[in-house]
Chain A
Amino acid sequence: AQSVTQLDSQVPVFEEAPVELRCNYSSSVSVYLFWYVQYPNQGLQLLLKYLSGSTLVESINGFEAEFNKSQTSFHLRKPSVHISDTAEYFCAVSSPISGGYQKVTFGTGTKLQVIP
């Protein structure tokens, strides 16, 4: 069975400081990895994803994540956060199951609080 662990439930950080949100996964097969962001009272939106190729993926708003197969991690980083980055971030893993379908499992989320 696959699982996703987000060790930090809340991460407070000062504006313009760097941040890393940690995500570790377990799976016995190849996976696809995603980070979603949820702003207050909204649904989730894709931030970035890793399907194949370069292990470093970037989003349009300055976030990046690196797929590390040996450490089974997909940590999310941003060198300088902005107040508008305050949100909850979810890591997700997708892997194939029988019948050619993919099973998606979400982590429990990390609330990023940017302090002015």
Chain B
Amino acid sequence: DAGITQSPRHKVTETGTPVTLRCHQTENHRYMYWYRQDPGHGLRLIHYSYGVKDTDKGEVSDGYSVSRSKTEDFLLTLESATSSQTSVYFCASATGAEETQYFGPGTRLLVL
């Protein structure tokens, strides 16, 4: 399995505070993705990256920003957390856009 980790694994925060989630991969994969998983919605793409400093929006990007300053790290920031952003967040990486995505273990975020 690809070495992909997420931190923190669990977080509780209050509405209006900024939150940053980190994804770290050791496979030198070019592509990285952030998804959120909610009951009845499956996985929805928030943002993705196709290289260092190259990122683009997914289908549910409002309220989120990302940064990728190194190949191995992809950060997701909730600029001002809202209760609707309570979810499980998954990071994934891949060698190519059409290739298998390798997923991290997820981060459970609760916004009170």
Interface residues of A (CB under 8 A from B): 6, 9, 32, 34, 36, 41-46, 49, 51, 90, 94, 101-102, 104-109
Contact = CB atoms under 8 A, between A and B. Distances in A.
Interface string B42-65: 111100001000000000000000
B93 to A, nearest CB: 11
Nearest to A101: B97
A104 B50 contact: no
B34 interface: no
Contact of A102 (B1, B43, B98, B103): B98
B104 to A, nearest CB: 5
B100 A49 contact: yes
Given A42-B105, A43-B103, A43-B104, A106 B43 contact: yes
A89 to B, nearest CB: 11
Interface string B71-112: 000000000000000000010100011101111111000000
A106 B97 contact: no
